[in-house]
Structure formats: structure tokens, C-alpha cells
Structure 1
Amino acid sequence: MLAPDSITLGYAVMDRDHADSLALWEAASAAPAGALQAAFAAFAAHLREHFARENALMTEHGFFALHCHMEEHARVLAVIAVIEAELGEGKEERARKYLRFHFPDWFHTHLATMDRVTADFLARAEG
């Protein structure tokens, strides 16, 4: 699973967003049946804000892999939107699977690859 020490990249804005992502993911994952919609909505809202902040930083500093990284964010947000719509209809199954399997795997890989490179680039650009 996801551990707080495994999400630290050494770039404060991203580290704070990742810690918040983890906390909201945990809250959504622990939501009882019938109560997932609100917890998932908080998680989704945070992801939209988190990705927007990261996209703005990458744009501001001319990150070399900007479009690839932004497209990955957009892809995840598209999945999140589908899940939110299903939750609005009372369907929790896909959301539960996403929270249990897909998001942790994606988040871990994204942090270790795209976000690691981005954090290093931003730290150098601002240093």
C-alpha cells in the first residue's frame, strides 16, 4: 500500500499535496457502504486542485515533460469523473475497486517516475 514516507519528494508544495492525497484516499477507502460518495467527492476535489497546482508550476517553469505529465493528470481526472457520476447513481463498485487497486498502484508509480522528475526539476528551477 501507500506509506507516508514513500511519498516525500523533497519539494514542499508537492509533498503537502501528496500527503493530503494519501489522507483523503484513506478516508474514502474506509468509508462505509452508502457513505462513499461524500468521501470520494472530497478526494476528487483535492485531486483536481492538486493537479492544477502542479500543472501551473510545470507551466511556469517550462518543465520539459509538461504535456506528458498534464495528459496523465487529465487521464486520471477523466476516470475520477466517471466514478463520481456512478456514485451519484448509488453505484459504489467501481469506486471501491479504484480506491483499493488502481489508485494506489497508479499513485506509487506516478510519484516514483513523473513526480520525482518534476520535483527535482522544480527544485533546481527555483534554486
Structure 2
Amino acid sequence: MSTINDIRIYKICPAALWREAERAGVFMGAPVDHADGFIHFSTAAQLRETARRHFAGQEDLTLVAIDPAALGAALRFEPSRGGDLFPHLYGTLPLSAVRRVAPLPLGPDGAHVFPEEIP
């Protein structure tokens, strides 16, 4: 069974928005995050559906892998789509919690191509 110490959570966002976060030293969230009052993340198992539902056909995206243990009590797993528990961060994302940043390109079929280590 996975624990919070051996999993990653992920954020899909426009590459330009992530570059702003890198310049600022903190990720403040995307417009949808601001509207909802928390930063939306997905687990590895939720990533493909999140990309399909919310980022279909979008190019120039970045996939950010985060260590959830580094976020403390501000991170909550809450019910969302179909009762599935999604990670939500009530606060800003410190870049010290980021473990990997990778491009999230579109494949020839129009679906996003995820790094091999994402199940």
C-alpha cells in the first residue's frame, strides 16, 4: 500500500504559467485554482482523465511532479469527480516540493504523451 511518502501528485499547467512560477519562486495557481480557492492536483491514476477532460488538444503544457509530504496539512484529499479523492492544496506551491518538471506534448492521435514512469 502506498503512503504519502512514496507517491507523487501532479499538476498540469501551461508552460508559460510554470515559467512565471519559476521566476517568482512559488506557484500561485492557475485561473481555475484561484476561482476554486485551492490548487488542483491529480494522482498518477487520475492524470490521463484530467488531461482529457480539462486540457484536450492544448499544446505547450508542463507536467509538474510534486512530493505531497512536503506540503503538510495544507494538502487535502477531497472527493470530486465520481467520488474519487483528488489532492487539493490550500495555499501556494513552494518550488521546494517539486520533484520533476517535464513537457506534456500532444501525440499524433491528439492525446497527451506522458513520461514513461507515469503508470
TM-score, normalised with respect to structure 1: 0.27
Q: Greater share of strand residues, 1 or 2?
A: 2
TM-score, normalised with respect to structure 2: 0.29
From the CA coordinates, give the structure whose radius of gyration is larger.
Answer: 1
